[in-house]
Amino acid sequence: MLYALSLTALATSCSAPKDITYFQSLQNGDQLALSQAKAITLEPDDKVIILVHTTDPRLNALFNLPSPTTRIGILTQTGSTAPTYSQQETPPYTVDSKGDINFPVLGKIHVQGMTAEQLSSYLSSELTSRDLAKNPIVTVEFVNLAVSVLGEVNHPGRVGIKRQDLTILDAISEAGDLTIYGLRDNVKVIRHENGTQKVYTVNLVDGKNLASSPVYYLKQNDVIYVEPNNTKKNTSKPSGNIWQQPGIWISMLGSAISVATMIITLTKK
């Protein structure tokens, strides 16, 4: 029986993933060259909130989209549900398929490729040069940007971009880190570039080159895919490939040893 347990432990250890430690190439005191963090720019279907602040309330009402009121249900102290009215947040502008938004008074504005700072500066300049507002303060905020994290992570799904310098490590952390079965040296990042989908490979084990990767800093709609290792692939095969599953061979080996032991015991009697 001890022999069978030893074989089982050996087989399990042989199928365990080898590279599960991040940043293996890093040593204390290493200095890494970071890739240039590029500011996120607007693309079609992005949503952006724009607020114009002036000293004249009438101009504020003219340039800012009205907030719709929505009827919602709240739970009263008696346990019944009663309706009430609550103001929603300022509605966003949606960038159309041509990369434009329709801004009050100014009309169509091509915003594709603009950062939040560039759009803010452009609108402020246009309002001032057209004598529509004096010293306006224009606030721009992107509201629906996210990346997708799929595969061997603990919590796959969409991860919101809440700042300009979101890294692949931040996104993986938000997704609950890789599972023990995730290939750390072969993480794929799929990015939409110039009308095509481009695939990048990231090695989380090689810490020295990770920070210089062109996808170290993420942009909206990036897809991160963590591939499962061979252990997970083999144990996930359908019954048609049952003989390729290591668990089957381990079970059969244990049974064979048990039968052989029984035969030897009976023969000795």
* pLDDT one-digit tens code per residue, 36-89: 778 899 999 999 999 999 988 888 888 887 766 444 444 434 444 444 433 446
Same domain for 127 and 186?
no
Which of 142, 159, 189 marks a domain boundary? Answer: 142
Same domain for 108 and 154?
no
Question: What mean pLDDT is reported for the chain?
Answer: 79
Which of 120, 142, 164 marks a domain boundary? Answer: 142
Token pair 């310098």 is at which residue?
Answer: 165
Residue 149 lies in a domain: yes
pLDDT band at 225 (very low <50, low <70, confident <90, very high): very high
Angstrom distances, CA of residue 21 to CA of 39, 142, 200, 222: 31, 35, 21, 24
Q: How far apart are the first and last CA of the chain?
A: 20
Q: Give the whole-angstrom CA distance, residue 77 versus residue 48.
A: 38
Which of 94, 113, 142 marks a domain boundary? Answer: 142
Same domain for 23 and 100?
no
Residue 123 lies in a domain: yes
Which CATH number do you get for residue 194? 3.10.560.10
Same domain for 165 and 249?
no
Same domain for 206 and 241?
no
The domain total for the chain is 3
Which CATH number do you get for residue 128? 3.30.1950.10
What is the average pLDDT across 169-197?
A: 93
Model confidence pLDDT, tens digit, residues 75-123 = 434 444 444 433 446 789 999 999 999 999 999 999 999 999 999 999 9
Same domain for 190 and 58?
no
Query: Considering the entire predicted model, what is its pTM?
Result: 0.69
Q: 261 or 110: whose pLDDT is higher?
A: 110
Question: What is the residue range of 207's domain?
Answer: 19-36+145-228
Q: Quick one: the chain helix, strand, coil %, rounded to 5? A: 30, 30, 40
Angstrom distances, CA of residue 219 to CA of 66, 116, 160, 215: 30, 14, 11, 8
Residue 41 lies in a domain: no
Residue 152 lies in a domain: yes
Whole-number percent of the chain with pLDDT over 90: 47
| Residue 43 φ/ψ region, left for φ over 0, alpha for ψ in the -120 to 50 degree band, beta for the rest | beta
Same domain for 96 and 67?
yes
- Residue 255 tokens read as 């049974």
Same domain for 222 and 237?
no
Same domain for 106 and 174?
no
Q: Give the whole-angstrom CA distance, residue 42 versus residue 108.
A: 15
Residue 224 lies in a domain: yes
pLDDT band at 168 (very low <50, low <70, confident <90, very high): very high
Hey, what long-range contacts does 114-118 have (CB within 8 A, 24 or more apart)? 114/41, 114/42, 115/39, 115/40, 115/41, 115/42, 116/39, 116/40, 116/48, 116/140, 116/141, 116/142, 117/39
